[in-house]
């Protein structure tokens, strides 16, 4: 049944006002991906319960518009969501059997399940679905703004009050979406807000991702200017990008000075960022590691690879400070945590076999979608994935254990693995056509 036919069939149902999807995106984002949700509004008895919000949101969608209810039910019946849900349920069941802590396993289960759900949502994003594009842009930008407002005006209690949790891959997704579908000034404002919270978070990983995305924006801006000049001048776009680039080059020294003074003015902030970055640079030059805990994981996994082949089930908090495979003898544990890297989490809880299957699937999806995209679009995605790999290698375990991080990871991966051939008129020939021409 066509969209218009379904709307006529359900004409007796209350129609959703145009502003309502945007307000829904803002509310969902603030409550799922910012401390307003996990530290204030949805925190009961010291625990975060996003299930309350998700149940209310689904009920609201069903009550307001039957068409959206049909789409919602069809989405959850799709094969991707179903398979991911089964995998998560089995890992939840296995985790409880392994260590007996249901709440620890369930905490990972709900975050990982949302990662897969938002991956599937982002897969539907494209020119043929402008409402979803608008929703995801508002959702991702609201996450950045919400985190920035909270950490500017409210006291943080995460990571000993000093460091601040921030779904940095949501920042990457927001930059990708706004540079692709919005004007340059909009995306520049997102860059400024996201960079501010990356500096305030005091995580070196976030600072590295910030640098990559600033370079991404500059490369994209310069290419767009050259492309526009070649194919016909769009004065509005040229002026906007010209203003952005001029602003960056003129005010970069001042912005750098403000950021440096902020970090250097407090001994704790200085030690967490500038001092550690200096040590990191020195260690790279000498070939040493400044983080012996993270450096031990690859060798430990390879030494005990047979124990890491099979999944161990959810429950990363059970392994906090004494990390191992659940199949191993507890006497062989090491000091560490599954949050110290995405591959660390996957090895301990998904197992190497399932991890390899997931990795093969993502590589296959990326290659398949890249063949239907322009070279410019593929280049955009490669840079965004490079930023994601930096995060995944150093702090990526949170993508399976913390809901805000999981949603950002799923959203970004879904955007990177989707095909949107209707956008080719802007960027030129597809990768497959270029490869064919070379032959």
Among 17-31, 33-47, 222-236, 349-363, name the most confident range. Answer: 349-363
Q: Which residue has the higher pLDDT, 399 or 293?
A: 399
User: Phi and psi dihedrals of 358, rounded to 5?
Assistant: -65, -40
Kindly report, residue by residue over 151-205, the tens digit of the pLDDT. Answer: 888 865 554 457 788 899 999 999 999 988 887 888 889 999 999 999 988 888 9
Kindly report, residue by residue over 252-277, the tens digit of the pLDDT. Answer: 788 888 888 888 888 888 888 888 77
User: How far is 397 from 401, CA to CA, in rounded Å?
Assistant: 7
CB atoms within 10 A of CB 421: 14
pLDDT at 283 over 70: no
pLDDT-based confidence at 117, cuts 50/70/90?
very high
* pLDDT, the chain, mean: 82
pLDDT at 66: 57
Which are the contacts of 14, defined by CB distance < 8 A and separation ≥ 6? 64, 65
Kindly report, residue by residue over 396-432, the tens digit of the pLDDT. Answer: 899 999 999 999 999 999 999 987 655 444 444 555 5
Q: Which residue has the higher pLDDT, 283 or 13?
A: 283
pLDDT-based confidence at 344, cuts 50/70/90?
very high
Q: Which residue has the higher pLDDT, 382 or 155?
A: 382
pLDDT-based confidence at 308, cuts 50/70/90?
very high
pLDDT > 70: what percent of the chain? 82
User: Phi and psi dihedrals of 375, rounded to 5?
Assistant: -60, -35
pLDDT-based confidence at 227, cuts 50/70/90?
low
pLDDT at 234: 62
Window from 46-55, 133-142, 318-327 with minimum mean pLDDT: 46-55
- DSSP state string for 125-139: -STT-HHHHHHHHHH
pLDDT at 3 over 50: no
pLDDT at 158: 53
Extents of the domains making up the chain? 127-285
User: How far is 335 from 44, CA to CA, in rounded Å?
Assistant: 31
Best CA proximity match to 390, nearest among 235, 216, 148, 241: 216
**Do residues 110 and 51 touch, judged by C-beta distance below 8 A?**
yes
Best CA proximity match to 120, nearest among 160, 165, 84, 156: 84
Kindly report, residue by residue over 20-51, the tens digit of the pLDDT. Answer: 778 888 988 999 999 999 888 888 887 888 88
pLDDT at 92: 96
Six-digit token string for 39: 């530290």
């Amino acid at each position: 049944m066509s969209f218009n036919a379904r709307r006529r069939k359900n004409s007796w149902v209350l129609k959703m006002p145009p502003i309502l999807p945007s307000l829904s995106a803002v509310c969902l984002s603030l409550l799922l991906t910012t401390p307003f949700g996990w530290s204030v509004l949805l925190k009961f008895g010291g625990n975060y319960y996003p299930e309350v919000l998700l149940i209310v949101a689904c009920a609201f969608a069903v009550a307001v518009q039957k068409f959206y209810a049909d789409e919602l039910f069809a989405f959850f019946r799709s094969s991707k969501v179903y398979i991911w849900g089964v995998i998560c349920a089995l890992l939840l069941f296995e985790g409880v059997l392994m260590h007996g802590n249901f709440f620890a396993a369930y905490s990972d289960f709900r975050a990982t399940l949302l990662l897969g759900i938002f991956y599937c949502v982002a897969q539907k994003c494209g020119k043929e679905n402008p409402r979803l594009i608008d929703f995801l842009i508002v959702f991702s930008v609201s996450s950045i703004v919400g985190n920035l407002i909270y950490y500017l005006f409210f006291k943080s209690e995460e990571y000993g009050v000093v460091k601040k949790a921030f779904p940095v891959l949501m920042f990457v997704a927001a930059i990708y979406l706004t540079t692709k579908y919005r004007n340059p000034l909009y995306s520049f404002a997102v860059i400024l807000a996201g960079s501010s919270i990356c500096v305030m978070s005091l995580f070196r990983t976030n600072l590295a991702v910030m640098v990559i995305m600033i370079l991404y924006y500059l490369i994209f801006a310069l290419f767009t200017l050259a492309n526009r000049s070649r194919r016909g001048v769009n004065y509005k776009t040229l002026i906007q990008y010209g203003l952005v680039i001029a602003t960056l080059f003129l005010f970069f020294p001042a912005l750098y000075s403000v950021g440096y003074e902020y970090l250097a003015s407090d001994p704790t902030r200085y030690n967490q960022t500038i001092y550690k970055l200096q040590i990191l640079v020195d260690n790279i030059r000498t070939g040493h590691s400044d983080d012996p805990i993270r450096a031990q994981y690859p060798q430990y996994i390879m030494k005990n690879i047979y124990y890491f082949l099979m999944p161990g089930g959810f429950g990363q908090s059970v392994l906090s400070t004494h990390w191992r495979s659940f199949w191993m003898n507890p006497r062989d544990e090491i000091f560490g945590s599954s949050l110290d890297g995405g591959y660390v989490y996957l090895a301990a809880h998904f197992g190497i076999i399932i991890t390899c299957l997931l990795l093969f699937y993502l590589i296959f999806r990326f290659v398949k979608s890249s063949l239907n995209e322009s070279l410019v679009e593929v280049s955009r995605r490669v840079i965004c994935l490079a930023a994601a790999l930096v995060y995944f290698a150093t702090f990526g375990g949170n993508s399976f254990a913390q809901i805000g991080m999981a949603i950002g990871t799923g959203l970004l991966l879904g955007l990177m693995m989707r095909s949107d051939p209707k956008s080719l008129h802007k960027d030129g020939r597809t990768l497959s056509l270029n490869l064919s021409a070379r032959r």
